């Protein structure tokens, strides 16, 4: 396999990993305002993607993939809302531990990583095209 093809394979794996990361972040943002469903229950807990190096058996290259999803163990916040159906005896409702600002920063980083991998694929494709053009002469 050529160096350009290797770079494309590695970048494609990076793009898949970042796309999976963006899906997790999107779920977090969508559930940021969630509350517990019943008194004493837990609301949506922030998810954190876990990445792992992986050997691509076809190319023999080390790539990356999202291997698992962990849960953020930080505390839920409590809001005073005695009328809420999930309020505890003291009138507090547990709300999600998702911080929208943190998720937006993570999303921006994932998008930039995705774009960097896409640019690498485009550059590799151009290099292969130039090589073919030179060989035709």
**3-43 pLDDT per residue, tens:** 778 888 899 999 999 999 999 999 999 999 999 888 888 99
**Two tokens, residue 31:** 């559930």
Closest CA to 17 of 5, 6, 25, 29: 25
Burial of residue 72, with CB atoms counted within 10 A of its CB: 0-12 exposed, 13-18 middle, 19 or more buried: middle
pLDDT mean over 114-132: 92
Instruction: For residue range 59-85, list pLDDT tens digits in order.
Output: 788 999 999 999 999 999 999 999 999
pLDDT-based confidence at residue 2 (cuts at 50, 70, 90) = low
* pLDDT for 39: 85
Tell whether the torsion through CA atoms of 108, 109, 111 and 116 is positive or negative: positive
Contacts of 10 (CB under 8 A, 6+ apart): 61, 62, 63, 120
């Amino acid at each position: 396999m050529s160096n350009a093809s290797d770079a494309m394979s590695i970048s494609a794996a990076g793009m898949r990993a970042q796309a999976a990361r963006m899906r997790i972040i999107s779920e977090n943002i969508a559930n940021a305002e969630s509350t517990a469903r019943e008194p004493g229950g837990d609301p949506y807990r922030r998810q954190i993607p876990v990445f792992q190096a992986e050997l691509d058996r076809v190319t023999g290259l080390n790539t990356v993939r999202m291997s698992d999803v962990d849960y953020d163990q930080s505390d839920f916040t409590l809001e005073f809302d005695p009328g809420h159906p999930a309020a505890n005896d003291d009138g507090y409702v547990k709300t999600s531990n998702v911080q929208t600002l943190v998720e937006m920063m993570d999303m921006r980083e994932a998008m930039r990583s995705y774009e960097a991998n896409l640019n690498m694929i485009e550059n590799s494709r151009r290099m292969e095209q130039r090589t073919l053009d030179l060989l035709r002469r």
